[in-house]
């Protein structure tokens, strides 16, 4: 996904990897507003993370782009 703001992620269970490395339970990851983040969960287990973002996500992968309009919806 692409993100227009900063993002902080805490891995709670399982893990994932991206172009910068692999992350496991307890790892804290910070991405600045200029980073493009493409996480991939490990194949052998589910990944559960807590993420805090300050701007909408925008999926760039062909399988998930259809979700972009729904990510702009906000509770009123």
CATH number of the domain that residue 64 is part of: 2.60.120.10
* Residue 65 covered by a domain: yes
The number of domains in the chain is 1
pLDDT in tens, 38-66: 788 999 989 999 988 877 666 777 777 77
59 CB burial (10 A radius; 0-12, 13-18, 19+): middle
pLDDT of residue 2: 47
* Residue 34 covered by a domain: yes
pLDDT in tens, 5-19: 678 999 999 999 988
pLDDT of residue 71: 65
Q: Which residues constitute the domain of residue 27?
A: 2-71
What's this model's pTM, rounded to 2 decimal places? 0.70
């Amino acid at each position: 996904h692409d993100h227009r703001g900063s993002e902080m992620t805490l891995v709670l269970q399982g893990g994932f990897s991206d172009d910068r490395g692999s992350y496991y339970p307890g790892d804290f990851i910070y991405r600045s507003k200029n980073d493009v983040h493409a996480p991939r969960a490990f194949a052998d287990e589910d990944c559960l993370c807590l993420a805090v973002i300050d701007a909408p996500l925008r999926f760039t992968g062909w399988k998930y782009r259809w979700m972009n309009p729904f990510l702009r919806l906000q509770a009123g």
